[in-house]
Every structure is written in structure tokens, then in C-alpha cells.
Structure 1
């Protein structure tokens, strides 16, 4: 299971290798920092540029702690976005950043590029040479004076890689639009332009899911033909909510994961599960299963397993406890709640089963 990054705000790993870009005007990077001008990196090799940008998205809520993990979507054909476009600079900020370019990696733009690449395109509306000289996605669109004359009508946008999905990002095919001008309250017509749904899907990746801790009765070593009662306490089944917000535009989304069922795989064909489906639902009281009591003598557990063979040859059986979570989101633009694909979190246990002439709890 992929480890979860910690912290309430998206943080940057200093010195991380930047994404390779092929346009002098693409501000696309790791999406890995929460403050402007606070990343290093970037370089140039012929016509290939490297850059490192950051996301301004702020993450708060149940992002997890030590030992927590992340959800694996049940729908294997769906994943949170690998990248998106988001606003990152005002016209005034962009002008200052470009005019400060001196041939070194610019911390504000997070790109290493000749100053002329930016002044030609974004100040002087003269993009033709760059569109021709770089084997890139650059479309040849130019701008006048950094759009200072219409500064109150929009912000500059760039592409950011989801820090949880770097391995899924395909350079040259995902989020390859150069830095462009757009209204932060009227999302540009690009599939990856950030809105509350994109934020909700990003928050999905950030939810910290605690280890699926089950209780067994009897505890420890099990006995052949004696039912093992399995349960989870209410405190371990609390919903988890993460909020993703883009302060520069005021767009936000809250994504909530709520446990709904525990599936038991005993790890042996010589076993009977309870219920027969192996799926133990969360009760109205918020608990899964129940501990054994003396009043339950002779009863089948509401959630559990009965092994019919010992492990003296195998050492142990691997019992897998998979907790299924339903996921939904609410956003500033779309209301809600709206569904997202459910997720699952698995934990395995080594179960030793012994033979005994007497059944004693």
C-alpha cells in the first residue's frame, strides 16, 4: 500500500528532481509546496527545460498519523487526477517574476528559462520564434504587457502534478498547456482545470485511513472447530473527512470516507466464515460484529470464522480483514453530497490454529 504523506498542508521535499518540460512557457511541476517562491530546482539541456512548480491547494482534516494509509479504489478503472491547472499568480506578481529572470532558476516562476522566452510571449505578444524553435506543445498564443491592463479580470494559471500521482504522470501528454490567463471564478474549459470536483478527487488521495484493527475471541491461538468471534469497536469506525481548498479562488471541497462493511478472508479453504458471504456490515450502533459472551454458547458469531484444520504443517493461516469505505464529497460550486468510488483498506493477520480435545474459552 502506498504510504501517505503527512501534514495538514501540502509540503515540498527540497531538491526533488523536477519534471521535464518541452516548452519555454510551461509552469508545470510537482504540486508539492504551499508557499510561493520556496522551491529550488530547474535546469536547461538544449531545448529541454526542467521546472518545479507548486500547488496552492491547502489540505486539512483527517490526513492521517503514524501507521495510517490510503484508500485503494474499488473501481480499478478510476483514479484521482494525476495533474490539474490552477491559478497561481496575479498579473502584477507575474510581471515581477518575469522581469526578475536573470538566467537562473527563478523561485517565483519555478522554471529555468531565458528571460526572453517570457518577455516575448507574455509582455511583447511575440511568440512566433518560441513556437517554432521549441519542439513543444506551445500553441503560439501571445499576451500584451502581462495582462496588466485587465489585471482585475483574471489570474495566471499553470499545471501542477498531483504529488500522490507522480508515477502516473505522462510527460508530454498530461496537463501540457503553457501558462495561460483565466478567470479563477469561471473555470476555463479544460478537462484538468481545477474546480471543486478536482479538489474532491485530490482530497480522496489525502484521506488517512487507520489500520483495520480487529478483535478476536478467543484471543491469540485458535482451536479447530471452535468459532472465532470477530469485531471492531465504534471508535475505529469513525468517518474520515479531508478538506481541499484553493484560497486564491475560494474554491473548496470536502471528501468523506465512511466504513460500511468488513470482509473476512480466512486464508484457508478449510474454514467457514460468518456470515456465509464473509461480509460483516456496520450495525446501527456503529459496531462490526460482537465479542463472545457466555450467553452466546452454541451460537454462531455475527462476524467470524471457524477453522476446520490446524496449522501445525503450515505454521499459520493469513487472515485478511478488508474494510470497505463509502466515499462522498461536497463542494463550494456543486453542493452535494456526490458519490466517489468506494475504497478498501486491507490488513493481514497470522492465525495459528491448534487441535484440542476440549473446547475452553
Structure 2
């Protein structure tokens, strides 16, 4: 299996979006792996090991299955070119407890063009989920104004330019023997949620959810002459951060969709990715004469 990650997010602060809800990526699956001749070599490699408890019985069972015709005779060499042996692949980084037991089927033969007669066989949606695992989205370091330090009781404008807030994608491809399938999973940013880092603040809008503008950006840059305007995305701090800072967190929600080379497609659970940045909030200084 190969992954085309050329359209992923770039930079030092990229990350993998965290799926929302009860989404569970596959921890194991079956995929085509060997021609009859390749499987014979695989068989020999597997059994080129020292003695261990139960080795004789296990070897006899495998020999019966793949060599002696129960059900495969001489590794199915008489069907060379007509199909492949399929085996189990594990994502060991995601398996917990006995999760590996979801794929206990012994290696099996599948004719070209046939649907494998087992659960968890690789398919377009599984490829899409595996591509989801490889997605990297750009950081969410938002621009803030006024620059330098926010002021108590004055709105702080927040925004993300379109160039920093773009769709990314990863394509997973499995091409082996007569089997060729790919799926592309795309992540599209749809909103940014602000968390001011203190309860003594008011969000703009009140929900803290800043949606995309028509041009694909979020919020609006501050410009001279907007001092009395209300920003479409921002925060008003109600007290000073004193000698420290507040941790303003911006979390992007990403809409996840997929399409495949066989015409299938659909949606996967949204993902979120956030980043925190330190904000200094100062009291407004006034001079009485």
C-alpha cells in the first residue's frame, strides 16, 4: 500500500485531526499479498525457525492447508495468474487489548475480480479510513489585532487568511497483481472555535464558532478606522493577564469526505485540530490632567 501525501498540510506545526464522536479506524484488515509462487517462498520463510512448543502441530496444519490440498494443493500453482493469497495486516499502533483478534482468518485464496468472503477485507472505505490516518492539517495560529497586546474591554480581532486555511488530501492506493484500488480522503476546513483561556472574556460571536467567509477565509483583518466596529471573529477580555498571559486556543473543525477509483464515496466523521497561543492583556492606561 502506498500513500500520496503531496497535498498534505506543510510546516512545522501540522497535525492529524482528531475524529469527532465514536469513529474507530481499522486496526486490522485483509489484503492481497502473494501469487502462488510468492506464497510458497513466504511459507518457507515462516517455517524457517527454530523449534518451539506446538511447532510440529502448527506446521502440519499449515502444510495440510496450503500444500496437501485441504483446501489448497501445492500453493494453488495450477491457478497462477488467476488470483492471489490474501493475508492479515495490522496497525499495531492502534491495537488495544485483544483487538488483533478481529482478524484471525488464516491466509486464503481469492480469484481475480471476486469479493473476498470475509469481514474486514480491504475495500474502498477502508482505504479512505487509512488515508484519514495519514492526513496532516496546517496549524491554526490565528492573526490578532491590536498587535502586541490585547486591551481590557476592547475587542481583539482574530482571523485566518485563505492561504493559511485550505483543503488538504491524502490518497491511499493498493495495487498488487490483478487488484488495483485507490481512495482519496479530503479534509476541508469549515469553522474555527475560539477559547479565550479565561472565563473573564466575551467571545465574538457569542458561540465562539467563527465560520468561513465567502472567499474561504475566517474572520476579518483589522484595519485603521475599525476601532469602533465589532469584529466578526474575536474576543473581548474583561481583565488584565497581569504579569502572565492567557492561552487563547483556536480549534479548526475539518469536514472529511472521500472518493475512490471505483466510483464510491462518502463522508467520515469530522476532525478537529487546535493550537494555543499566548495573549498578553493590558489595562488601558489613561492620563488625568
Q: Normalized against structure 2, the TM-score is what?
A: 0.88
Question: Do structure 1's residue 202 and structure 2's residue 146 form an aligned pair?
Answer: no
Any conservation in 2 of the 1:187–1:194 contact (CA below 8 Å)? no
Unmatched 5+ stretches in structure 2: none
Aligned partner of 2:210 in structure 1 is: 280
- 1:329 corresponds to which residue? 258
1:147 aligns with 2:76: yes
TM-score by length of 1: 0.71
| Residues in 2 aligned to 1:70 and 1:354: alpha-carbon distance in whole angstroms | 35
Aligned residues: 278
CA RMSD of aligned residues (A): 2.3
Secondary structure in 2 aligned to 1:356?
coil
What do the CA deviations read for 1:93-129 (whole angstroms, capped 9, x no partner)? 1123324566239xxxxxx997655333201135xxx
The reply on whether 1:251 has 2:181 as its aligned counterpart is yes
Q: State the Cα deviation string for residues 172-210 of structure 1 (Å, max 9, x = none).
A: 522111111113533313231001110001101101111
In 1, Cα distance between equivalents of 2:16 and 2:45: 41
- Are 1:268 and 2:212 matched, yes or no? no
TM alignment of 1:1-361, pairs within 5 A: 57-61=1-5, 62-65=7-10, 66-75=12-21, 77-99=22-44, 103-104=48-49, 116=60, 118-125=62-69, 142-162=71-91, 165-168=93-96, 170-171=98-99, 173-183=101-111, 185-248=113-176, 249-312=179-242, 315-336=244-265, 338-358=266-286
State the distance in 2 between where 1:231 and 1:260 align. Answer: 14
Give the structure with the higher percent strand.
2
* 2: CA distance, partners of 1:348 / 1:184: 51
Determine helix, strand or coil for the equivalent of 2:247: strand
Work out the CA distance in 2 between the residues paired with 1:347 and 1:202: 24
Cα separation, 2, equivalents of 1:237 and 1:348:
17
Q: Which has the higher contact order (CA 8 A, sep 6+)?
A: 2
The verdict on how the C-alpha distance between 1:172 and 1:259 changes in structure 2, with shifts beyond 3 A counting, is: closer
Say which SS state the counterpart of residue 277 (structure 2) adopts.
Answer: strand
From the superposition, tell whether residues 171 and 297 of structure 1 become closer, same or farther in structure 2 (CA, over 3 Å). Answer: closer
Distance change >3 Å, CA 184–CA 302, structure 1 → 2 = farther
Q: Distance in 2 between matches of 1:299 and 1:100?
A: 72
